[in-house]
Chain A
Amino acid sequence: MIRSAFASFVITAVLLVLVVGIVLVPIALSLPDPLAVLDTFVFGPFRNPRHTGNIVEMATPAMMCGLAVAVMFRAGMFNLGVEGAFFLGGLATVATVLLVPLPAFAMAPVGILVGAVVGSSVCAVPGYLRARYEASELVSSLMLNFAALFIGLFVVNYFLRDPAAGAMVSFRIPAEAKLPKLIAGTRIHLGTLVALAACGLGAVYLFMSRAGFEARIVGSNPSFAAHLGLPIRSILLRSQVIGGLIAAGAGGIEMLGLYQRFSWQSLPGNGWTGVVVAILARDNPILLIPAALFLSYLQVGGDLIARNFDVPSEAVGLIQALVLVVVTAQAIMRNPRLIRLVTGKKPAAGQAQDTKAVEGSVA
């Protein structure tokens, strides 16, 4: 199974390279030294350890958000609360280390744990509404992201704001709370190892545990789950709480790993990246790792050419947009759940027609 997932992963990656080429080559040709542009985009990220480090730093939250999405997608839940959970998780982590007096060694773990629990509400509430009232988790989680954003900004402004700083940012995160750096000359931090371990544990959960097995049964065929008598509602809720915890924990790790202050003024977008990564990795936790690294590599290459050449930053945005289209188009082609979501058709519709038809024959 992992082999076939890997095959489609490779196909998608090749398509992405083609797409990037289609955008990048004409832009490069319009510049005096087209080869240098391509060279910078393709090889630039590896010339300087700092840039290579950027790839890993960027891939860290992408892996964890991707894992959160994959865990929920596997249970059939299109919960997009990862974005809000990531944001709120980061904020609650910073708030904890700033406001709660904690011994130095406990700051990071307690902060991230509190962040994970608080932030996971953005996934858990839509999950509960879905399990209890059949409210579309897609819609409610999408909406709740913005509620989380503005509640967060309110908290930053009234409780955490450093009046000495020129902008709406929090006080400095104490140095003792920061995650240790792993490699000198880069900003790669302990969170990367946590993310890698999380992906491994995610694979164990999904493919080797009873709970993950049940979640996959519900996700791949809810009628079958009902036939077996599985507790569908609690399985759905559980999957979304786990997803929320992972995404929100990732937000806390990001804050303590890379930031001096809480400085997000809008949703940071890591959750959306997680959706792309999960789709690219076919919801396979192990494949999340190369998928996140690959997307981050594209991002770093794009940033480098925008910085060093007269390339409009929109071109980099265009490349990213096309990447999104390619990845999601693949998903639409292969994923009946997404198609159903897009067409708004329920799986039982066909059956209902049959019975109506029979009604006619009896009458």
Chain B
Amino acid sequence: MTDRPLIAFAGISKTYGNGTLALDDVSFAIRPGVIHAVCGENGAGKSTLMKILFGLEQPTSGSILLDGEAVAIPSPRIAAEKGIGMVHQHFSLVPSLSVSENIVLGQEPRRGAFLDRVAARRRVEELSRRYNLAVDPDATVRTLSVAAQQKVEILKALSRDVRVLILDEPTAVLTPPETDELFDRLRDMRAAGLTILFISHKLREVRALASHVTVLRAGKLAGDAPLAAIDDEAIARLVMGQAAGPALKRGGRVSGTPRVVVSGVHLKARDANDRLEGIDLTVHAGEILGVAGVDGSGQRGLVSLLTGRAQPTTGAITYEGKPTAGLGTAALRRLGLAHLPADRFQDGGSKRMTLVENAIAGAHRLAAFSTGPFLKRRAMETRTEEMIVHYKVRCPGPNAPLSALSGGNAQKLIAAREFATEPHFMIADQPTRGIDVAAAAFLHERLAELAAKGGAVLLITADLDELLTLSDRIVILYAGRIVARLENEPGLTPERLGPYMLGLESAA
């Protein structure tokens, strides 16, 4: 290992066409053969910086030095030629093609005009052996698990003889055991001489994996240090730009009467992942009931039943003692339902509509926002401006389209809308997935506040830290059944939940 940096960013700035300053004079260096973490909130500029390194974006000023020489990286193809590979947060695989076809796509071995399948297969097997990443080269990508698809993405990046591998939030989609396996593989790669750039906002993962951390905040370099020389609190301070708030305290909440009771519910669905087979659960007033489980264990089915988008095949759901059979979303919302959907841009809002329209939709028929058949645009705007201030939504203005917001800010606006109805029953489905620490903490406070005021909260999350921080009780779903019911006692750890989530143990 030499001390000469492999990659150096020198005064990189990036201004977008609309005047947004995404990066502001960022300079730091990455030494070869290390795992280098880049941390920061959403919108801090991590992704932009990585896109610049990978040739997807061009810096407005500043330069990238590769082996001490200034290089221009106008496209991902050039980046690949220079030995830079990237695994995106959202995979770029073709679902209908096989693993080996996906990996060789763009640099196919040919026999005449045709794809040489044997050579492609051999190349994939060799890669898979070299990096100890087991995949079936003939499997169709569509049939693979998310973790396996990620392996394919990594192999695809590695197949271009890379020296630097960029991983953008690779653990967001993985369960704890899958994350551990990924980390082992990444350590192997480092040992084999690869340099890895690891983008994350989970401090625990950064600590476990990386040897050096760079923190970006609001487009500026906030800090850059070897991990040995900096403690978690200092990193958190750099990320958030202020002392992190005190950890949220559970307790002090008194759970009251049963508010939502699900008894003996079965749901037959076309998609096996949505099926439910005999669910019994009760959410009391004033409590947060956490639902854990690997994605696709029936969470979506449960949410569609509780939000009135589907009706149970058998079994019943009551809401404050009243049966909800036959009631649709509108009727349930009138009873006090609110819902933070898992896919915030798909279900939670309309990207092409303005913040005002997104914030008021649903409440637009209230007397506050309409007279007769007409909308009161002024009142809608004023209310939205209040929401923006109260929920600290960073945005260009109330009449900007929702698509102009980062994921975290969009989620805050959606939350502002859903909390505005003072709901009796809130379903928070992956409320902080992919959003920054500060926004997540803010939403956690809102959820806890709602429960403290007597609201019933159903929290569905893949983030076990979040689950353990917020929940009063925890149920674990596996394959459409509840396999464990746990009181969230101080000693409960993510490791204890793992076996239930993977269906290895059952306690219900």
Contacts and interface: CB of A to CB of B under 8 A. Distances in A.
B38 to A, nearest CB: 26
A151 interface: no
A224 B478 CA distance: 28
Interface residues of A, number: 33
Contacts of A216: 353, 357
Contacts of A230: 330
Given A209-B375, A210-B374, A211-B373, A226 B347 contact: yes
A298 B200 CA distance: 57
Contacts of A352: 271
Interface string B265-278: 00000011110000
13 contacts: A208-B377, A217-B353, A217-B361, A224-B346, A224-B361, A354-B295, A355-B296, A357-B144, A358-B273, A359-B272, A360-B145, A361-B178, A362-B502
Contacts of A227: 307, 329, 339, 341, 347-348
Interface in B432-490: 478-479
Interface in A185-211: 204, 208-211
Interface string B22-46: 0000000000000000000000000
Nearest to A355: B273
Interface in B75-133: 95
Contacts of B339: 227
B147 interface: yes
B286 to A, nearest CB: 25
Given A355-B300, A357-B144, A360-B143, 12 more contacts: A208-B377, A220-B352, A224-B349, A227-B341, A229-B308, A229-B333, A358-B145, A359-B272, A359-B273, A361-B148, A361-B178, A362-B478
Interface string A1-32: 10000000000000000000000000000000
Interface stretch (B2-10, B160-168, B362-370): B362-370
Main secondary structure of the interface of A (DSSP, over half): helix
B253 interface: no
Interface of A: 1, 204, 208-211, 213-214, 216-217, 220-221, 223-224, 226-231, 347, 351-362
A361 B351 contact: no
Contacts of B479: 362
Contacts of A226: 309, 329, 347
Contacts of B144: 357, 360
A214 B330 CA distance: 14
A355 B373 contact: no
B392 interface: no
Contact of A358 (B296, B348, B365, B375): B296
A235 to B, nearest CB: 12
Given A210-B364, A213-B375, A353 B142 contact: yes
- Interface size band for B: 35 or more
Contacts, number: 123
Contacts of B341: 227
A80 to B, nearest CB: 23
A216 B307 CA distance: 22
Contacts of B143: 356-357, 360
Nearest to B296: A358
A231 B330 CA distance: 8
Contacts of A359: 145, 272-273, 296
B396 to A, nearest CB: 13
Nearest to B357: A213
B350 interface: yes
Q: Rank and list the top 5 A-B pairs by shortest CB-CB distance, nearest first.
A: A361-B145, A229-B329, A229-B330, A358-B296, A221-B350
A338 to B, nearest CB: 14
B294 A362 contact: yes
A229 B332 contact: yes
B149 interface: yes
B343 interface: yes
Interface in B48-67: none
B328 interface: yes
A362 B503 contact: yes
Given A229-B329, A353-B142, A1 B354 contact: yes
Nearest to A227: B347
Nearest to A352: B271
